A and B are shown apart, each in its own frame.
Chain A
């Protein structure tokens, strides 16, 4: 490890590297890091690493990025390069493939080295029952021109996405409800201990959190862009979590936070490596149930899955995961863009397996369908046996 006057500028450069990789490494943390290093023995590389980690990382997801950055930045210089023997030759990165992947992801590098599962997009021809003269609202997203998409985007952004509400356990003052002993007593004390007036409070009402899980596999390709627009329109709220999947599940919540749609779409396409790949809904939901459900399904969340149900995975697995998911969600809604096409019947293996285990099965092929969804979300009652 470098010591003395050399260390501080290098630490600053390391913080910038972390910052570029998406970690929060502002001046405050840099100061903490500098102070922390004053308390440890810099010759112990493991302590040096541990100290910087506890200062710069504050999320589990950032751990692999940190480890990779540390490996790259603080790696001992290659003696051969120092001797000028191998000038210009790149050497293997001193890190495991897993870390290298995290690093590539953090920097938004291309995914050419990742194995992509390709699947011929075998989809039945769905003919929308509406002609071009009909209102934009009834036009199938699949057939929209760029300009029409833009119009829809504006409409979606204006739409007041009202969410179903739930009672929280936090109480606030109200005209009726439970007696607020604290305020009533306070008032009584002022009137010489006479309980002259009773105050009340009742549970505060909050919106339910919303979780979107969107299929962006090959068969959904024509809807992907609009789905992203839809997600963007509603995911700017704090309590929306968004995921996409084709062969694997990717969380895009943070990517959708950009206000600017184009920037957001760009970051999503960089961050998601299996756009238009094959579909394994069961596997994606299994991943969700194991790694995300406990984190994002608290407080009576509503879950929306958007998919056409063209699944190459095992239907039994899909069924099992849906049953589990439905138990942990307040409401499970499945949106299917094909449902709008005339004569469509949910006969695909995946859809047939899924249908008995969702609370609502709705279309999502045009703006009107999304508006219907909005109405459903606003008016969600409570399902028996859930909170």
Chain B
């Protein structure tokens, strides 16, 4: 495998493919430009189209460490940047003799040794040979306060800790932000980033993905499952299956020893692809037609 940062779009494409990530040329272009322009990459798409995976594979491509921050409602600096290890600090102070100087003690307990480093500090304060890949996953789950903080962090890549001082990144991490669009992320943050929308793949690409990621599924099966999912995506459903579901489904069927699909197999495993009861009911009636179409695909 090639070392060093990619030099062309083709290079990015080839390296993603080597790692079994089948993306389109648009994604490769966005990644390439984000590296060259040293800007964060903002990836949006429906659930299960491979947003997080793209960041993971990129870390491998760059020979870099992956640092992941999973966002959730209420995430704050203590969970994202740093926290003092209070129990240890208290213990340290209690164990100290009476005579010792309190000021010295305070300096001691507010040093790096007592600092709990969270992902963002980790990404900024790194000594890695290759700058790490910082994945800020599902930013739409966090709230506006956190977004505002990120905006600041991404503009100068530094963190200030009152007791220690300002820590600035020697080499800025490669930042990948993902969102499922459960809410609109603020424009100011998006403006700092290059943007890429990952769409559902077409049939040929999805077959390729299944072949690469679920090699246990035979060629014929891979094509038929991809065909089925393509059929489901054109139906009127509350939640259409993503690529992750296609892979789950192909693996389930392969585990059952299937090499082709038929109505009873599909009925038995439909839960791999559909997550809503209403959707399951709606699709069940049409399984024979879907199977027939997928087998002809």
For chain B, the count of residues having a C-beta within 8 Å of the partner chain is: 49
Which chain B residue lies CB-closest to A50? B29
Residues of chain B contacted by A186 (CB below 8 angstroms):
84, 86
Query: B211: CB under 8 A from chain A?
Result: no
Given A296-B183, A320-B278, CB of A50 within 8 Å of CB of B30: yes
In the assembled complex, A96 has its CB within 8 A of some CB on chain B: no
**A295 adjacent to B109 (CB under 8 Å):** no
Cβ A298 vs Cβ B183 within 8 A: yes
> Does the CB pair B183–A189 fall under 8 Å?
no
Assess whether B238 is interfacial by the CB under 8 Å rule: yes
Cβ-defined contact, A170 with B197, below 8 A: no
Of A34-42, A214-222, A356-364, the one contacting chain B is A34-42
CB of A294 closer than 8 Å to a CB of B: yes
Residues of chain B lying within 8 A (CB to CB) of residue A127: none
A-B contact count (CB 8 A): 113
Number of interface residues of A (CB under 8 A): 42
Query: Looking across the interface, which residue of chain A has its beta carbon closest to that of B34?
Result: A54
Of A57-65, A116-124, A141-149, A303-311, the one with at least 4 CB within 8 A of chain B: A57-65
Q: How far is the CB of B228 from chain A (nearest CB, A)?
A: 20
Flag if A58 contacts B86 (CB, 8 Å).
no
Identity of the chain B residue whose Cβ is nearest the Cβ of A36 in the assembled complex: B33
Do A170 and B145 touch across chains, with their CB atoms under 8 A apart? yes
* CB of A80 closer than 8 Å to a CB of B: no
Is the pair B195, A54 in contact by a Cβ cutoff of 8 Å? yes
Say yes or no for B26: interface residue by CB 8 A criterion.
yes
Chain B contacts for A289, CB-based, 8 A: 238
Q: Is B90 touching A188 in the complex (CB atoms < 8 A)? A: yes
CA gap between A299 and B143 in the complex, in Å: 10
8 Å CB contact of A324 from B195, B236, B278 = B278
State the A residues within 8 Å of B (CB): 24, 28-29, 32, 35-36, 39-40, 46-47, 50-51, 53-55, 57-60, 63, 168-171, 181-182, 185-186, 188-189, 192-193, 286, 289-290, 294-296, 298-299, 320, 324
Which chain B residues have a beta carbon within 8 Å of chain A's beta carbons? Answer: 9, 25-26, 29-30, 32-34, 36-37, 39, 42, 44, 72-74, 76, 78, 83-84, 86-87, 89-90, 93-94, 96, 102, 106, 109, 143, 145, 180-184, 187, 190-191, 193-197, 236-238, 278
Instruction: Known pairs A60-B181, A192-B93; list 12 more (Cβ under 8 Å).
Output: A32-B194, A36-B37, A39-B37, A54-B30, A54-B33, A60-B197, A185-B84, A185-B89, A185-B90, A192-B102, A193-B90, A193-B96
